[in-house]
């Protein structure tokens, strides 16, 4: 019988760890007499004395994320608010904490507070004056002025700005099988009504010689509506957008999805709990249960907790905020909802918002598609030769087994992997019986 050589490819855990966090800061200004709305937030950060921003910054200096999403952070076209938040707050010690510098930042326009010109809430009034009653109800996403309740990303690693994708202009009606409430919106309204209440961003971040896609959003709360449940239905479909983006063949209306074999993290205030609250059809389970998402880990509160509230991320007793990594490309080490209580350190800080920050610690695992390319196997002259294109910073080894029992794999002895340029080669005696080999890729 001709010898049989079967090759498998697997990654090993990396020693390169990153912390990714999401935090709904409630920093967005309100259209009040004291802080009159659009154009006010960035100036309020100019001198570094904004007390709410200082409290948020101290929380960030305590948990020290490498990549951070802030929800409810007002948008300005020049990114001035994000720059000042970093330079005047994060990167300045708060009460003796270690400064955190985020040289890479990303902000983009939010649908909040951009008026549609229609009576979207069907109350008989079209109010186009920012800050006035019901103005926000007729905007693409609720906001008393353009940019309110926006988002911002802060990163210690370089952002691939050329590859960013945003989906703020996707029409809700273009999502196949959408949950637009029947009969509530006119045809003309549906021709302009956008799916994202803020936006959905795919932001590639380059880290340790590889990258991951940070998929961020802030779906509308599934409340503040009527019997038609327009916000609950929209919340469901905003969450569904990421499920479609990750599902082969489901993202045509988005201009294509992420594709298989990609490392990603979904982050943001999703305004949906798996079992409680007003969300439609367990909306968050669309991504928690997605086959490409590692949704099995539930971060717990760090402070006082009970059996019924240990997974809550907000004071209104729901798990609303999420950091969800891909199954491939990461090993999930740990995570938490930072929620000190009583006399614990930081308990006086987190009350700046009705949400608490959520973070995960993730080990990078080399994706086999990026670590082993153009694999070829040749049997000749009594030898088996394997060769493949390598990825810099990744190490390799060969293991073999007589069957597929996970406990029976062992390193091949007496054989070295030779690397010439960007190609790795290994030559071994051809097997006399059926043998299984695997290439193991790992970061040192």
Please report the pLDDT score of residue 3 as a whole number. Answer: 46
Please report the pLDDT score of residue 5 as a whole number. Answer: 56
Please report the pLDDT score of residue 274 as a whole number. Answer: 97
Please report the pLDDT score of residue 434 as a whole number. Answer: 83
| pLDDT by 10-residue block (mean), the chain, 444 residues | 54 74 91 60 96 97 98 96 98 98 98 97 93 91 95 98 98 98 98 98 93 98 96 98 97 95 96 96 97 97 96 98 96 97 96 97 89 87 88 88 89 89 89 84 78
How far apart, in whole angstroms, are the C-alpha atoms of residue 53 and residue 30? 15
Q: Is 329 exposed, middle or buried (0-12, 13-18, 19+ CB in 10 A)?
A: buried
DSSP state of 60: H
The Cα-based distances of 291 to 10, 168, 216 in angstroms read 19, 25, 19
231: left (phi over 0), alpha (psi -120 to 50) or beta: alpha
How far apart, in whole angstroms, are the C-alpha atoms of residue 150 and residue 361? 25
Q: What is the pTM of this model?
A: 0.90
Query: Do residues 246 and 292 make contact, with C-beta atoms less than 8 angstroms apart?
Result: yes
Which of these, 184, 152, 186, lies nearest to 28 by C-alpha position? 152
How far apart, in whole angstroms, are the C-alpha atoms of residue 95 and residue 221? 34
The Cα-based distances of 325 to 20, 201, 273, 290 in angstroms read 10, 15, 18, 11
For residues 280, 286, 288 and 290, what is the CA-based torsion angle, rounded to 10 degrees?
Answer: 170
Question: Sign (positive/negative) of CA torsion 185, 191, 192, 194?
Answer: positive
Report phi then psi at 207, rounded to 5. Answer: -140, 130
Sorted by where each starts, the structural domains of the chain and their CATH numbers stand as 17-368 (3.60.10.10), 372-443 (2.60.40.10)
Q: What is the pLDDT of residues 120-175, one digit of tens each?
A: 999 999 999 998 878 999 999 999 999 999 999 999 999 999 999 999 999 999 99
Please report the pLDDT score of residue 35 as a whole number. Answer: 45
Please report the pLDDT score of residue 9 as a whole number. Answer: 59
36: left (phi over 0), alpha (psi -120 to 50) or beta: alpha
Please report the pLDDT score of residue 222 as a whole number. Answer: 97
The partner residues of 322 in beta bridges, in order of sequence, read 268
């Amino acid at each position: 019988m001709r010898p049989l050589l079967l090759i498998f490819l697997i990654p090993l855990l990396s020693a390169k760890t990153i912390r990714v966090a999401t935090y709904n800061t409630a920093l967005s200004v309100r259209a009040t007499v004291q802080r009159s709305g659009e154009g006010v937030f960035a100036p309020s950060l100019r001198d570094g004395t904004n007390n709410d921003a200082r409290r948020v910054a101290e929380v960030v200096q305590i948990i020290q994320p490498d990549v951070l999403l802030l929800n409810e952070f007002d948008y300005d076209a020049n990114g001035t608010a994000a720059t000042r938040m970093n330079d005047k707050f994060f990167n300045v010690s708060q009460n003796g904490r270690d400064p955190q510098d985020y040289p890479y930042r990303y902000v983009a326009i939010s649908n909040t507070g951009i008026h549609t010109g229609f009576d979207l809430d069907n109350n008989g009034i079209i109010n186009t004056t920012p800050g006035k009653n019901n103005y926000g109800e007729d905007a693409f996403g609720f906001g008393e002025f353009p940019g309110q309740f926006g988002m911002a990303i802060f990163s210690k690693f370089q952002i691939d700005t050329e590859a960013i994708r945003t989906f703020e202009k996707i029409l809700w009606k273009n999502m196949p099988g959408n949950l637009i409430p029947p009969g509530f919106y006119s045809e003309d309204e549906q021709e302009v009504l956008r799916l994202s209440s803020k936006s959905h961003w795919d932001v590639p971040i380059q880290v340790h010689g590889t990258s991951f896609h940070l998929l961020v959003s802030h779906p509308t709360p599934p409340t503040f509506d009527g019997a038609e449940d327009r916000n609950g239905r929209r919340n469901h479909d905003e969450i569904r957008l990421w499920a479609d983006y990750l599902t082969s063949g489901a993202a045509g209306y988005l201009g294509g999805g992420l594709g298989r074999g990609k490392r990603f993290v979904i982050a943001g205030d999703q305004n949906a709990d798996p079992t409680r609250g007003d969300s439609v059809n367990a909306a968050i389970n669309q991504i928690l249960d997605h086959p490409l998402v590692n949704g099995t880990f539930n971060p717990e509160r760090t402070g006082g907790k009970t059996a019924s509230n240990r997974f809550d991320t907000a004071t209104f007793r729901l798990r609303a905020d999420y950091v969800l990594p891909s199954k491939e490309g990461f090993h999930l080490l740990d995570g938490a909802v930072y929620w000190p209580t009583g006399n614990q350190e930081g308990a006086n800080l987190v009350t700046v918002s009705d949400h608490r920050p959520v973070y995960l610690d993730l080990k990078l695992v080399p994706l086999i598609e990026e670590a082993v390319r153009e694999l070829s196997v040749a049997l000749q002259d009594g030898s088996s030769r394997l060769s493949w294109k390598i990825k810099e910073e990744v190490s390799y080894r060969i293991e073999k087994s007589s069957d597929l029992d996970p406990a029976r794999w062992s390193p091949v002895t007496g054989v070295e992997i030779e690397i010439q340029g960007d190609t790795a080669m290994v030559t071994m005696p051809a097997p006399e019986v059926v043998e299984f080999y695997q290439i193991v890729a790992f970061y040192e």
